[in-house]
A and B are shown apart, each in its own frame.
Chain A
C-alpha cells in the first residue's frame, strides 16, 4: 500500500513582488514501510512540500493544483482543519530542522512529553515512564532527572533528540523529518539513523526524510527524490540516484559533496549560477540556464523519461548517462 501519494502538486506564495511558485507539478509516492529521502538546493521547496502535506502553509501560501492522498483514503489538500489536526497528532508526526519549533520553552520536557500522549489512555505514571523511556532511547543522560528540565537547559543537539523522542512516542504511520540530524555529531547522527530505522521497522511506519547530508541519505533511505526550484527532477531507488544519476542537476549536486572530493581541496566545487527567480520561471527546463548539457530542445518543457522501472528523470537528455556522453 502507498502511505502517501502526491500528484501534480503546485504551491504558490503571494508576495509583494508577485506570485512565487514554490512547487510545480510535484508527484511522488511514499510506499508502506519505506524511507524516502528528499534532497535538493536550499530554497527548492522541501519545507514547503512538508508544510503542504501537513496543512501548515504560511498565510500567504496555498495549494494551486494537485492532490495529496494519505493512506489511500484522505485527501489532505481539502481536509478540514479539525481532521487535519487529529491526523497530525496521531498518524503523521514531524521532526523539524529547528528543535525549538517542537518544544515549548516554558514547560519542562517531561510535561510536554506527557501532554503529547493525551489521547493514549495511559495513566499519568505510565505516560511519565514512557517519556523517560523515550529520552533514554535517544541517549539523553539522566533521563529520570532530565524530564524535569526546561528546553534551554539542553544543548542544540540534545533538544533535537528530545524532539525526535516526542515524534516517535506517537507511533505514527508516517514520520516526516526535515533535517533532523543536522545538529548532531557523527556518532550520534549514525545512532539516530539507526534508531529511526529501528523504529520504522518496529512500528512499521514510513518516513519522509529531508536532508542535505548526502551520506545520511545514502545510508538511511530506500528511495530518493531530487528537487530543484520546486520541481522533482529525478527520483528512484537510492542506488539509481547515487550510482547512475541522469538529471544534470542531480549529477552536479552529488559532485559537490566534499565527501566525494579526492585529495584535499581548499576551494570546494559549486554549481555555477543561481536558482531562478521563482516569480518568473524560465520557459522550458528549469535547470537550463545552469546546465552544461543544455540543447535547443531544452527551451521546451522536458518529458519524464523512465530510465528503468521506478527511476525517472525530468530531462531531455536523461536517456544518455553523462559518462557515456563524455566518452563519445
Chain B
C-alpha cells in the first residue's frame, strides 16, 4: 500500500478585507483565498499545482506549512494535524517539511551572506554535531554554486543564483516533503533542468515527496505524477499528469494547455481564448465560477454549482466535461 505523507481535506483560507461600511452595505468582509480543496500526496510522489495567478496556490502552500491559519478543513502531515500545532510542534514539523518560497531574493535576509543563509536551517533547528562549514560547501556544490559564493550577499547574486541558494536551504535538513513554490522561475532551461533533476534525485534516493507549484506546464508534464488545476481557490481538475495533458476534461484546463507558448516562431497556435476579465474573489460568480469565461458554458452553468466528481482517475468540477479534442463552440460565452 502506498504510504500517504500529506493529506489536505476541505481546506479553506479566508482573508479579512473591506471595512465595517462594506459589511453594512452587504459587501463581503472577507475573501476565500482557498475555498475548499482536498488531495493527498504519497511518499515519493510529485504533485503539481497549476492555475491562474491569484488562484490560491501560494496560500495553500503556506497553509500546509502552517504559516497561514486555515479557517476550515484539516491538514495532516506524517499522521499529525498541522492546524492547532504550537510553535514547538510547527518547528519540529518544518524540519521534515521544507518550503521553497516564490520570491527568491526577498526570502533571503539581506544581512546574511550565502554561507550563513545556508547554515541558518541548522542553527534554527539546533542541529548539533555536523560540520557546518562542510555542510555549506556540500550544499553549494549540490546546487551548482562554487565555494566562493559563501562570501556573497543576496544583492550580489543573479536571480538564478539566489534561487539555487533557496534550493540549498530547503534541502539542508533532508526533509521528507518539499513544498516548492515556483522553484525554477527565473532560471535558464539548463539550470532549471539541474534543479529539477536534483529534486528528482532526492525524491528517488530519499523517498522525498514534493508539492511543486509552477506556471511552466512543460515542466509539470515531465516531472509531476499528478496535477491539480486551481481556479479561484478551488481544484477544477485533478488527475494523473499524462492523462490530463493528453485530454483535459475541464474547459479551464483545456484553455490553459492550449495557451502554452512553444519555442517555435512559426508555430500556428490553435488557442482557446478566454475573456479577459478574471472574476474577483469579493464577488464570486454564482453557479459554476468559471461560467463567466467558459466558451462552453450552458444556461444552467450560471446557476448550478458543480461539485468535484470522480471521472475515471480524475476529479472534475464541471457539469459538462469535455470530450477529447473538443473545439470551443462558435458563440460568445454565456
Chain A residues at the B interface, C-beta cutoff of 8 Å: 13, 15-17, 39-44, 47, 58, 60, 97-98, 100, 139, 141-142, 145, 153-158, 160-161, 179, 182-191, 193, 212-219, 238-239, 242-243, 252-254, 256-261, 264-271, 274, 277
Contact = CB atoms under 8 A, between A and B. Distances in A.
B197 A187 contact: no
Nearest to A159: B53
Find the residue from B186, B196, B269, B282 having the highest chain A CB count within 10 A.
B186
Contact of A98 (B105, B196, B269): B105
B263 A215 contact: yes
Interface of B: 17, 50-55, 58, 102-103, 105-106, 144, 146, 148, 151-152, 155-156, 158-161, 163, 182, 185-194, 196-197, 200, 215-219, 221-223, 242, 255-257, 259-267, 269, 271, 274, 276-280, 282-283
A253 B261 CA distance: 17
B148 to A, nearest CB: 6
A76 B181 CA distance: 38
B53 A264 contact: no
Contacts of A215: 218, 260-263
A115 B62 CA distance: 34
B12 to A, nearest CB: 17
A11 to B, nearest CB: 13
A27 B155 CA distance: 26
Contact of B222 (A42, A191, A268): A268
A44 B144 CA distance: 15
A141 B279 contact: yes
Q: Which 6 A-B pairs have the closest CB atoms?
A: A157-B53, A42-B160, A215-B261, A268-B193, A155-B54, A141-B280
Contacts of A266: 200, 222-223
Contacts of B160: 41-43
A267 B223 CA distance: 8
B263 A212 contact: no
B53 A156 contact: yes
Contacts of A261: 218, 222
A156 B103 contact: yes
Nearest to A97: B159
A51 B271 CA distance: 36
A242 B265 contact: yes
Nearest to A149: B17
Nearest to A146: B280
B276 A139 contact: yes
26 contacts: A42-B161, A42-B186, A97-B159, A98-B106, A100-B106, A141-B278, A141-B279, A141-B280, A142-B282, A155-B58, A156-B58, A179-B159, A179-B186, A183-B53, A184-B53, A186-B256, A187-B256, A187-B259, A188-B52, A218-B265, A256-B190, A257-B189, A258-B189, A258-B193, A258-B222, A277-B148
Contact of A258 (B105, B159, B216, B256): B216
A257 B221 CA distance: 12
B159 A42 contact: yes
Nearest to B191: A42
B227 to A, nearest CB: 13
B185 A259 contact: no
Contact of A190 (B187, B191, B193, B271): B271
A216 B262 CA distance: 7
Given A242-B263, A258-B218, A267-B200, A185 B146 contact: no
B52 A187 contact: yes
A250 B311 CA distance: 44
Contacts of A189: 215, 259, 261
Nearest to A138: B276
A189 B103 CA distance: 18
Contact of B277 (A39, A139, A190, A256): A139
Given A141-B280, A215-B262, 16 more contacts: A16-B151, A41-B188, A100-B103, A142-B283, A155-B54, A155-B55, A156-B103, A160-B53, A182-B185, A182-B186, A186-B261, A191-B276, A257-B263, A258-B192, A258-B221, A260-B263
B98 to A, nearest CB: 20
B188 A39 contact: yes
A97 B186 CA distance: 8
A16 B271 CA distance: 51
B193 A43 contact: no
